[in-house]
Amino acid sequence: MDESYYVRGDGVVRADSIWGILRGLETFVQLLVPMSNGLLLTRRTEIYDQPRFKYRGLMLDSARHFVSKAKILQLIEGMAYNKLNVFHWHMTDDSAFPYVSSVFPELSAKGAYRPELTYSKADVLEVVKFARMRGVRVVPEFDTPAHTASWGASHPEIMTKCAGKFEGQIGPLNPTKESTFDFLYKLFSEIKTLFPDKYLHLGVDEVDSACWESNADIQDYLKAHGLDNGDLPYRYLERYSANISAMGWLQMVWQEAMIENSYMEWPKGTIAQVWFDYKKTMATLTKKGHDVIMSDGWYLYVLDTGADWEKLYNVEPTDFNGNKAQKAHVIGGEACLWSEWINEHNVLPTTFPRVSAIAERLWSPVEELSVDEARLRLEEHNCRLMARGIEARPANGFGLC
């Protein structure tokens, strides 16, 4: 996305793309000062602007707690007010499968909290269109092979039955069954029709192999094929990744997918999302030539008392040991709304204005970033967000808004 633009104080906005026009219009709106007589005043100015990073995202987990379509649309509206451009929709997890599939309707029938706490195809298409009109891409994530307990409620045949000390538990998807990959291909062929973005987030985080290792059928399969437990993640990833590529998707993964499976040959363009131990992980992955986005330090459900936006503002994605070529592989960052402690009623004030600090870090030149200078700017912007209908928490303690 070319989001560069030119704005003049008399209302002229120029850009080489519609995305640049949208960002320029947002800047022009922020230049307007309301007067007591009802008029809006702007100063004489000229602005040439473009983002420092091309990926500036916000992730929402709408599985652990359901978040309504109406709130999601408000969240995306607020993203546009902050020039964020990627909505990463983590739609399913162990706790719930809220998407109503046409090919496998039983997934939500048995995996959602309640029938009304689901997203229809029409809901998804509306979210995607709403976001696109505001210059926001929607990247879906249906996390596998772990975080899939909700899938097992209706399709236990693709899951791994744990044994031994894990007896009675269901583990990750079973990578030794052909039916697992047939199922995934059918499901993601449907999902592909709803999300036009070229990227799919595969997940692949927190995969515990202990259940695979405890399953007698899997161990028999490995023995029969001359394999061992270390081959299981590669068997899954190679088949699944190849199928996703065949559908025409590029891929994103959580960092473990690359760090723990270092021999995996990922398709060109695969992006790693880094969420812990970022100094070491960024250095390792960029040295191998992988593009990365930063999320470590930007988990918004971690709340501190007071103006905790300052700690978010001070996270720098390129603050690791690496050369210029490595730093060029850092294509942006993403704030994450995991929903253990977030629901319909607090998702907006948990996000805003704290995500505004991250948005400025990802947009503006690093040499122009200053907490002291940002403080008044953020206070004003927070008032603006609330005036535009976004439920935002106070930015700096007492204040007008």
What are the residue ranges of helices labelled H in 65-197?
Answer: 69-81, 106-111, 121-132, 149-152, 178-192
pLDDT at 192 over 90: yes
Structure tokens belonging to residue 229: 């437990």
The predicted structure's pLDDT at residue 48: 97
The predicted structure's pLDDT at residue 277: 97
* Residue 233 host element (H or E): helix 232-246
Structure tokens belonging to residue 235: 């068997």
List, by residue number, the catalytic residues. Answer: 206
Distance CA 253, CA 256 (A): 8
pLDDT per residue as tens digits for the range 257-294? 999 999 999 999 999 999 999 999 999 999 999 999 99
State which amino acid sits at residue 93.
Answer: D
Domains of the chain: 1-50 (3.30.379.10), 52-159+183-202+241-387 (3.20.20.80)
Distance CA 50, CA 46 (A): 14
pLDDT per residue as tens digits for the range 142-155? 999 999 999 999 99
Closest-CA residue to 300 (of 255, 357, 338)? 338
Distance CA 253, CA 201 (A): 6
The pTM (predicted TM-score) of the whole model is: 0.97
State which amino acid sits at residue 360.
Answer: E
pLDDT per residue as tens digits for the range 221-253? 999 999 999 999 999 999 999 999 999 999 999
Closest-CA residue to 110 (of 84, 137, 92)? 92
**Region 137-165 average pLDDT:** 96
Structure tokens belonging to residue 323: 């050369």
